[in-house]
Amino acid sequence: MSLIENINKVFDHRIRLGIMSILMVNEYADFNTLKELLDVTDGNLASHTKALEQAEYITVEKQFIGKKPNTRYIATKLGQVAFQKHIDALEQLIKNKD
């Protein structure tokens, strides 16, 4: 098996890596929280969450809090497993640099 076999192309972009990192340690995160933590624009965040949603790595819940719309994101089981494999593969790559 090659060292990069489990490196997942979906997580190639730093924003997607950031989104998944946040969702791995939190039950969920809403749009504004992700935007603030990652310091990205609305459009940038929206395109990356859409890519993760299409890969079925996150689910999107839309609701209203009072009269304000709120969108929150949750890592799926599939997403958690794929992300952990990706991180493990990166760690293996780093350990084998010699």
Residue 53's domain is classified under what CATH number?
1.10.10.10
pLDDT at 98: 54
The predicted model scores a pTM of 0.90
What values do phi and psi take at 93, rounded to 5?
A: -60, -45
Greatest alpha-carbon span in the chain: 57
The answer to whether position 4 is within a domain reads no
Rounded distance, CA 15 to CA 46, Å?
A: 11
Rounded distance, CA 17 to CA 62, Å?
A: 22
pLDDT at 50: 97
Backbone torsion region of residue 65, taken as left when φ is above 0, otherwise alpha when ψ lies between -120 and 50, otherwise beta: beta
pLDDT digits (tens, 9 = 90+) for 58-77: 999 999 989 999 999 999 99
The answer to whether position 13 is within a domain reads yes
Q: Is the confidence at residue 88, as pLDDT, over 90?
A: yes
Rounded distance, CA 32 to CA 36, Å?
A: 6
User: Which residue range is the domain that position 71 belongs to?
Assistant: 9-90
